[in-house]
Structure 1
Amino acid sequence: MALAKVYVNYKKSILNPEAEAVHKALKRLGYGDIEDVKLGKYFELTIADGKSKAEIDKEINEICDKLLANYNMENYHYEIVETEAAQ
């Protein structure tokens, strides 16, 4: 089995008010050394055995493009981790 860890974040040009609110709150709490906050989404997709790395990459990219990330506003990246089958 494989585990795809998918990270989706806003593009730099997109205002993220929720991240800005967290950043301001951190400043109010005395964490003035924090220069920026990024807020995004994280997904874990478990993939059954039987697919090659290339097939998994293709499938994950399709899933991200079609569902998980809005290509107008967000970027994504992912990592594939091999896991053991559940006992």
Structure 2
Amino acid sequence: MKTGLVWFKNDVRLHDNEALTEAIEECDELIFCYAIEKNNFRKLDLGFKKCDINRFKFLKQPVMDLQNHLEKLVAHLLIGYLNAKK
């Protein structure tokens, strides 16, 4: 049994998603995840954040839609935080 990881980043669509299509073809079981990158909320040299709360709210809705679609397909989306440093 082959398990695959589908890591959603910028493209949170289920339809017309090349990585998802390939994972479905090659794997027996899939794990779905989305990581909120804390690095996006750091302060830039210009004095403002790369992503503020308004942008986060805008990004949140498509991820919640993805989670709802996956649940309808009896799948689960793991949502976590990525603490990458640059």
On whether the aligned pair clears a TM of 0.5, the verdict is: no
Q: Which has the higher contact order (CA 8 A, sep 6+)?
A: 1
With the length of structure 2 as denominator, give the TM-score of the two structures: 0.31
With the length of structure 1 as denominator, give the TM-score of the two structures: 0.31
Structure number with greater Rg is 1
Higher strand share: 1
Higher helix share: 2
